[in-house]
Amino acid sequence: MKTYKYTAEFLLEKTNGGLDIIHKYIPDSVGYERTKKKFRLRDSDKTPSVVLYQEQGNWFIKDFGNKSYSAISFVMEKLGLDFPKTLEHLYKENNLTEDNTIYRASVEVKENPTQPDTYFFIKIKTSYSQLQKVGRFLTEETALKYNFFEVEYYEKIITKKDTGKKALIKVIATENYPIFCYSTNLEVWAKLYCPADTKYKHQYLGKKPERYVHGLEQFIAKAKKMKDLIRVC
């Protein structure tokens, strides 16, 4: 039996059962999971005729005018590639390596730190370069509006499992391991987002306010603006 260095199982596991792939290749499918609502597969479709459905943890699309596709088979047909080439293409597109590992950040460790256990620091990049790793529709304007930043590196204090001693780690973003964060006050707290990671994709640094709603600041500002407009009228 022929074996491949790229496997469908690993690819689907790391792409949310193939849903991330479907969303990327069929933008109109975003938001239609678990709704049973129909969307258009092709611009030429006169009416929506496609639905998303899930089986055994993996996602599929059913085109009532044609047939059903998995995320992989849809890309195979769309790009005209055979199965191994499709897997290779999707591995690269989703930042996976052929030995089934995720790209890692560059990490520096300093023993015997003088900083307190609560210490953290985030160095923000002066410009965005990898927002496409977050979502194809995310713009720099939207990222700035919602306090979403690209990170050059971050530091924090950890306790080493083997020795129980404290250490200062510096996690540096790389081309294949971008780091992002969300915060309204980077000196107090931040929520990290590392899209290429599987174990630590999301984590908090510092102390997030006990009562906090993402986007509330923008909502209040918009509501105030509408109230002012009504008052003027």
Domain extent listing, the chain? 8-93, 106-208
Q: What is the model's pLDDT at position 97?
A: 67
Residues 6+ apart with CB under 8 A from 219: none
Per-residue pLDDT 10s for the chain (233 aa) are 334 467 888 889 888 899 989 988 888 888 888 888 888 887 777 788 889 999 988 999 998 767 889 999 999 999 998 888 898 889 888 877 655 555 567 888 898 899 999 999 999 999 999 998 887 788 999 999 889 999 999 999 998 777 788 999 999 998 888 999 999 899 999 999 998 876 778 899 998 877 777 777 777 877 877 776 666 55
Distance CA 134, CA 131 (A): 5
pLDDT score for 4: 46
Burial class, 29, CB count within 10 angstroms (exposed 0-12 / middle 13-18 / buried 19+): buried
Give CA–CA dist 83/72, Å, rounded. Answer: 8
**Highest CATH level, class, for 8-93:** alpha beta
Ramachandran sector of residue 46 (left: φ over 0; alpha: ψ -120 to 50; beta: rest) = alpha
SS3 109: strand
Distance CA 133, CA 135 (A): 6
| Range list of β-strands (E), the chain | 50-55, 58-63, 68-70, 106-111, 120-124, 148-159, 166-172, 179-182, 189-193, 202-206
The per-residue b/e assignment along 36-54, b for 16 or more CB within 10 angstroms, e otherwise, is: eebbebeeeeeeebbbbee
Q: b/e for 143-165, b at 16 or more Cβ within 10 A?
A: beeebbbbbebbbbbeeeeeeee
